[in-house]
C-alpha cells in the first residue's frame, strides 16, 4: 500500500532521457537511456494507448476489458521532431513526448493543454511480489473536475478524493467507503469546456488521487502489473464516453421484461410464500415482471440444486409464475460446498477446476454453504463448464434470469474478506496470483453465467445481474449497488452511484429500492420508488431479518404512490427501451448527469441530484423527509413540468413543489415521448394504440422511438423499427415529420397524439399535405389530442 506523499517516496525510479524512437504503422516506440520503453499506439483519432515497460520488455498483451471487436483506425497521423519533443498529431489532438524524460502532454489542435504529465510515469520495485508499483501523475488545472470510477459511494464530482479499486463485499457500506464491489478504472476530466478520459486497464489493486494530496496533481497507480492506460479526447464528454464504451464493449439488448419492476427479498420461500407475493401484486394491480429466489431455494446452499421441501416441483412453479406474467430469477454464488456427495463439487474436483493456494492446496473458504472451494473463472475451460451447468436451471426448469452474488469474491470470517493474494489463477493462460486476478474474478463468473443463460434460453435473450464487475463487464451483465441501508443518505448515494455507473459504461444498474439493511419508513420507501423507477434496473430488495418491503407493507397511501410511479415506468417503457437501444448501439448512457448533458454550463459541474433520464426527461429525487418540495437546478433550455404542464426557462435553480405523491419531473420542449398503456407486466396485452406526448417548442427538436419484438434476436436481422420524429414549432403552426427505418411491424395501427403547451388553438390539420377535417381525426379539443395513422410522414397543425 502506498500512502506516503509521492515525492517522499525514496524508492521511486524515473525514466531518463530518450535515446531513440521507432514508428511502425499505428505504434511509436520510445526507448530511454535507462532502458524504459514507452509504446504509444494510435487507436483512433481521439484515442491513444500508452504502455510503459520498465525493463524494456513488455509482457504478453492481454485484456479482459477490451472488446475484441472494438472499432479502431485513424484518419491522420503525423510525427515530427523538435529540439525538445517528438510530436504526434492525429486528426483530433496532439501528443508531445519530451526528449529529456519522456514526459507526455496532450494538447488540442490550437495547442491548448488538455492533460500534461506532472512527474509522469515512475515506479517502485517490489521484491516482495516481484513486480513494481507503477505510478502516473498529471497536473490538474484550477477549474478541473473529475467524474467516473464506477460504483464509488461518494460525491459525484471526484475532485479532492482519493479512492482505490479492490472488489469488496461491503455490507451496509457508507458514504466515502473507499472500496466497493466493482473496479472500473475509468474517469473523465473536464476543464475549459474540454473533456478527456483515462482508462487505466490494470486489474491489480488500483488507486486514484484527484487533487486530494496535492491541489494541482492527479495521480493513479497500481500495486503491480503494467502502466497501461488509454487517453481519450472529447472535447465533449459524450465523445469520451462513447469511445470508452466502444473500447470496452456494449451489451446486447435485454429482454423488455428485464426493464419492468422486479420484486426481491432474502428470501422468499417456500413456494407458497412466493405465490402469495406474486398473487398479491396481481390482486392489487401493482405491475411486476420478475420475482427473485435468493439463496434459500437451494439445498443447503449448493449451487444448481433445489430444496425439495420448499420447492417440490420447481419446473411447475416457474411455469405457473410465468403464466401469471412473472419471470423467475435465481441466485447463483461462486462458492461450491465441499461435499463428496454433491456432483458439481465432485466433477470440479476431478477436473481440477478449483482455485489453489501457491503451494498446491485448494483455496478453502467459508461462505453460505459452509466450507467451500471456488471455481477459477479465469480459466476458459472452467467458464465453459460453468456455462453448461445452467442447462437444467434455465433450459429445463425455465428460470429466466440469473443473479450472481458474492463474486468479489467474498469469504467470511477471514482478514480482507476475500482470497489471500497467493491464490493462483489461470488468467486465460497467463498464470498469475490473486493480486492480479481479484478484480476480474466476478466479471469472469458473470461472463460464464451469461454464456450459459444465453445458450439455454436461446432464442430468447438472457438476463444476468452481478454484484462484482470490472470494466467491460457491461458486455455480459447488469448490476446493482449491493448491500445499502434504508436511510435517506443511502437514497442520496443510490442516485449518485447509478449516475456514476451510467457514465462508467455500466448503464444497466439499479440500487436495492428501499434499502437492503434495516427498514425504511413508508415515506423513505415511496421516495425511493420514485427515484428507482427512473433507474435502468428497478428492483425492490431487502434482507430478510429486517421486515417486509413489499409495496403494500406501508399502508394504502404509500402503496398508491408507489403504484402511480411504477405505472409511470410501464407507460414510459418504450421511451426507456429506446434509451437502451441508444446505449447498446452507441454506448450513450441511459442516465445523463447534468455535467454530461451540458458541460459548457459550469453550474452543472457540481450538480448531482438532478439527472436526465434518456434524452429528454429531467428528474430530481426528493432526498429528505417531511418536505413539500425542493430547490433544484433546471438545465439551460425550456422545460415543461410533467405534473402541471407549465413551461419554465432553465439555467437557474428554482423551487419545485413535490408533496409525497410527486417527484419533480420535467420534459424538454420539443420532445415526442412514446407511451404504452399501463400493463401489469410486459406483453400482458396487445398494444392497440400508442400515445405520443408532444411538447411544443418554438424551433426544432428530434426524438426517437425504437421498437422490436421485446425479446429474441430478430432485431439483428433488421426486424426492428426506429422512428425519428422531427418537431418544428412556429408561432401558429406545428410540423411533425416522421422517418422510419427497419422492418418490424408493430401490433397497433394508430398513434394518439397529445399536445402540450401549444400557444394556439388547432384549426386545421394537413396530413401528407392534404387537409383533413378534424372530426376524422377524432380531434379532442379539451385534451388537445387526435388519432393518426402510425405511418404518417408529415403532419401540419395550423392555428
- Site for ligand MIG, rule CB under 6 A: 266, 294-295, 331, 405-406, 467, 482-483, 516, 541
> Beta strands 261-263 and 227-233: pairing type?
unpaired
The span from the CA of 669 to the CA of 638, in Å, is 6
Contact call for residues 318 and 291 (beta carbons, < 8 A)? no
Q: How far is the CB of 264 from ligand MIG (least distance, A)?
A: 8
Nearer to ligand MIG, 37 or 152 (CB): 152
Residue 343 appears among annotated catalytic residues: no
Cα 695 versus chain centre, distance: 29
Q: Which of 135, 136, 160 is nearest to 146 (CA)?
A: 160
Q: How far is the CB of 506 from ligand MIG (least distance, A)?
A: 17
The span from the CA of 277 to the CA of 629, in Å, is 33
- In the chain, DSSP finds a helix count (H) and a strand count (E) of 12, 51
Q: How far is the CB of 52 from ligand MIG (least distance, A)?
A: 37
Interaxial angle between packed helices 522-532 and 556-571, expressed in degrees from 0 to 180 and rounded to the nearest 10: 0
User: Which residues partner with 38 through β-bridges?
Assistant: 30, 52
Nearer to ligand MIG, 473 or 482 (CB): 482
- Locate 136 and state its grid cell: 502516473
The span from the CA of 243 to the CA of 476, in Å, is 19
With residues binned 3-state (H G I as helix, E B as strand, rest as coil), the percentages for the chain, rounded to 5, are: 20, 35, 45
Q: What is the DSSP letter of 136?
A: E
- DSSP string over 511-572: -EET-SBS---HHHHHHHHHHHTTSSSEEE--BGGG---STTTT-HHHHHHHHHHHHHHHHT
The span from the CA of 40 to the CA of 748, in Å, is 54
**Active-site residue, selected from the candidate residues 6, 271, 376, 405:** 405
Residue 68 appears among annotated catalytic residues: no
Q: How far is the CB of 534 from ligand MIG (least distance, A)?
A: 21
The span from the CA of 580 to the CA of 588, in Å, is 8
Q: How far is the CB of 203 from ligand MIG (least distance, A)?
A: 22
**Active-site residue, selected from the candidate residues 483, 550, 693, 711:** 483
Q: Phi and psi of 474, rounded to 5°? A: -60, -20
412: helix, strand or coil: strand
Q: How far is the CB of 387 from ligand MIG (least distance, A)?
A: 22
Q: Phi and psi of 120, rounded to 5°? A: 75, -150
Which residues are CB-neighbours of 666 under 8 A, at least 6 positions away?
617, 618, 619, 634, 639, 640, 641, 642, 648
Residue 213 appears among annotated catalytic residues: no
- Locate 611 and state its grid cell: 439527472
Contact call for residues 729 and 737 (beta carbons, < 8 A)? no
Contact call for residues 664 and 627 (beta carbons, < 8 A)? no
Nearer to ligand MIG, 468 or 660 (CB): 468
Q: How far is the CB of 531 from ligand MIG (least distance, A)?
A: 19
716: helix, strand or coil: helix
Which residues are CB-neighbours of 69 under 8 A, at least 6 positions away?
249
Please list, residue by residue across 399-432, b when 16 or more beta carbons sit within 10 angstroms of its beta carbon and e when fewer do: bbbbbbbbbbbbbeeeeebbbbbebbbbbeeeeb
Q: How far is the CB of 296 from ligand MIG (least distance, A)?
A: 9
Q: How far is the CB of 541 from ligand MIG (least distance, A)?
A: 6
Q: Hey, what's the torsion of the CAs at 203, 209, 210, 211, to 10 degrees?
A: -160
Q: How far is the CB of 469 from ligand MIG (least distance, A)?
A: 13
Nearer to ligand MIG, 220 or 306 (CB): 306
* ω into 273 cis (within 30 of 0): no
Beta strand segments in 506-553, E: 509-510, 512-513, 538-540
Which residues are CB-neighbours of 283 under 8 A, at least 6 positions away?
none
**Active-site residue, selected from the candidate residues 6, 294, 408, 707:** 408
Sign of CA dihedral 622, 625, 627, 628: positive
Nearer to ligand MIG, 405 or 704 (CB): 405
Q: How far is the CB of 298 from ligand MIG (least distance, A)?
A: 10
Q: What residues are labeled active site? A: 405, 408, 483
Amino acid at each position: 500500500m502506498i500512502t506516503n506523499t509521492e515525492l517522499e517516496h525514496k524508492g521511486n525510479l524515473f525514466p531518463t532521457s530518450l535515446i531513440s524512437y521507432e514508428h511502425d504503422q499505428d505504434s511509436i516506440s520510445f526507448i530511454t537511456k535507462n532502458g524504459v520503453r514507452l509504446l504509444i499506439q494510435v487507436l483512433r483519432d481521439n484515442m491513444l494507448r500508452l504502455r510503459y515497460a520498465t525493463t524494456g520488455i513488455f509482457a504478453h498483451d492481454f485484456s479482459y476489458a477490451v472488446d475484441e471487436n472494438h472499432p479502431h483506425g485513424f484518419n491522420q497521423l503525423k510525427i515530427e521532431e523538435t529540439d525538445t519533443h517528438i510530436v504526434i498529431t492525429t486528426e483530433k489532438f496532439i501528443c508531445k513526448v519530451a526528449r529529456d524524460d519522456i514526459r507526455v502532454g496532450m494538447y488540442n489542435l490550437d495547442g491548448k493543454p488538455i492533460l500534461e504529465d506532472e512527474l509522469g510515469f515512475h515506479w517502485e520495485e517490489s521484491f516482495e511480489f516481484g513486480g513494481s508499483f507503477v505510478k502516473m501523475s498529471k497536473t490538474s488545472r484550477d477549474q478541473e473536475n473529475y467524474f467516473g470510477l464506477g460504483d464509488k459511494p461518494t460525491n459525484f464530482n471526484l475532485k479532492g478524493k482519493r479512492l482505490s479499486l479492490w472488489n469488496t463485499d461491503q455490507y451496509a457500506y457508507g458514504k466515502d467507503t473507499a472500496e466497493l464491489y466493482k473496479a472500473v478504472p475509468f474517469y473523465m476530466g473536464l476543464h475549459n469546456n474540454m473533456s478527456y478520459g483515462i482508462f487505466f486497464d490494470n486489474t491489480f489493486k488500483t488507486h486514484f488521487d484527484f487533487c486530494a494530496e496535492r491541489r494541482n496533481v492527479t495521480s493513479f497507480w497500481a500495486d503491480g502489473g503494467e502502466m497501461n492506460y488509454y487517453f481519450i479526447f472529447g472535447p465533449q464528454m459524450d465523445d469520451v464516453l462513447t469511445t470508452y464504451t466502444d473500447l470496452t464493449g456494449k451489451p446486447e439488448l435485454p429482454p423488455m421484461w428485464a426493464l419492468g419492476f422486479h420484486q426481491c427479498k432474502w428470501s422468499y420461500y417456500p413456494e407458497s410464500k412466493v405465490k402469495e407475493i406474486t398473487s398479491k401484486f396481481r390482486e392489487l394491480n401493482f405491475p411486476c415482471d420478475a420475482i427473485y429466489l435468493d439463496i434459500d431455494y437451494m439445498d443447503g446452499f449448493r449451487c444448481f440444486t433445489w430444496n425439495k421441501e420448499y420447492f417440490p416441483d420447481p419446473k411447475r412453479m416457474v411455469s405457473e409464475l410465468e403464466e401469471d406474467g412473472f419471470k423467475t430469477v435465481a441466485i447463483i454464488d461462486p462458492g461450491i460446498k465441499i461435499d463428496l456427495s454433491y456432483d458439481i463439487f465432485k466433477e470440479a474436483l476431478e477436473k481440477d477446476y478449483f482455485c489453489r493456494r501457491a503451494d498446491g492446496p485448494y483455496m478453502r473458504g467459508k461462505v453460505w454453504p459452509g466450507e467451500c472451494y471456488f471455481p477459477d473463472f479465469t480459466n476458459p475451460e472452467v467458464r465453459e463448464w460453468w456455462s453448461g451447468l445452467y442447462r437444467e436451471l434455465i433450459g429445463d426448469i425455465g428460470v429466466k434470469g440469473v443473479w450472481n452474488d458474492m463474486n468479489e469474491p467474498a469469504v467470511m470470517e477471514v482478514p480482507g474478506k476475500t482470497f489471500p493474494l497467493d491464490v493462483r489463477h489461470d488468467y486465460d493462460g497467463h498464470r498469475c496470483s490473486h493480486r492480479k486476478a481479484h478484480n476480474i474474478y466476478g466479471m469472469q463468473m458473470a461472463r460464464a453465467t451469461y454464456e450459459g443463460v444465453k445458450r439455454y434460453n436461446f432464442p430468447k435473450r438472457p438476463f444476468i445481474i452481478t454484484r462484482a464487475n470490472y470494466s467491460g463487464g457491461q458486455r455480459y451483465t447488469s448490476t446493482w449497488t449491493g448491500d445499502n441501508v434504508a436511510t435517506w443518505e443511502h437514497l442520496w448515494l443510490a442516485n449518485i452511484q447509478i449516475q456514476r455507473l451510467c457514465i462508467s459504461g455500466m448503464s444497466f444498474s439499479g440500487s436495492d429500492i428501499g434499502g437492503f439493511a434495516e427498514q425504511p419508513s413508508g415515506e423513505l420507501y415511496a421516495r425511493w420508488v420514485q427515484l428507482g423507477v427512473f433507474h435502468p434496473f428497478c428492483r425492490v430488495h431487502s434482507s430478510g431479518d429486517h421486515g417486509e418491503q413489499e409495496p403494500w407493507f406501508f399502508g394504502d397511501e404509500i402503496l398508491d404512490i408507489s403504484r402511480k410511479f411504477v405505472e409511470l415506468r410501464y407507460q414510459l417503457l418504450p421511451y426507456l427501451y429506446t434509451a437502451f437501444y441508444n446505449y447498446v448501439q452507441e454506448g450513450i448512457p441511459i442516465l445523463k448527469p447534468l455535467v454530461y448533458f451540458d458541460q459548457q454550463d459550469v453550474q452543472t459541474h457540481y450538480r448531482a441530484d438532478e439527472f436526465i433520464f434518456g434524452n429528454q426527461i429531467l428528474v430530481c429525487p426528493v432526498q429528505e423527509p417531511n418536505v413539500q418540495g425542493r430547490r433544484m437546478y433546471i438545465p439551460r433550455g425550456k422545460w415543461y413540468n410533467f405534473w402541471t404542464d407549465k413551461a419554465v426557462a432553465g439555467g437557474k435553480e428554482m423551487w419545485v413543489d413535490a408533496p409525497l405523491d410527486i417527484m419533480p419531473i420535467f420534459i424538454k420542449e420539443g420532445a415526442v415521448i412514446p407511451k404504452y398503456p399501463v400493463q401489469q407486466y410486459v406483453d400482458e396485452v396487445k398494444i392497440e394504440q400508442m400515445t405520443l406526448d408532444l411538447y411544443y417548442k418554438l424551433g426544432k427538436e428530434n426524438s426517437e422511438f425504437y421498437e422490436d419484438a421485446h425479446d429474441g434476436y430478430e432485431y439483428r436481422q433488421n426486424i426492428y423499427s426506429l422512428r425519428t420524429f422531427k418537431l418544428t414549432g412556429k408561432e401558429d403552426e406545428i410540423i411533425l415529420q416522421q422517418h422510419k427505418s427497419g422492418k418490424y411491424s408493430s401490433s397497433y395501427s394508430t398513434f394518439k397524439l397529445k399536445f402540450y403547451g401549444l400557444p394556439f388553438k388547432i384549426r386545421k390539420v394537413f396530413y401528407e399535405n392534404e387537409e383533413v377535417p378534424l372530426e376524422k381525426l377524432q380531434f379532442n379539443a379539451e385534451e388537445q389530442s387526435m388519432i393518426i395513422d402510425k405511418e404518417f410522414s408529415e403532419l401540419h397543425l395550423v392555428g
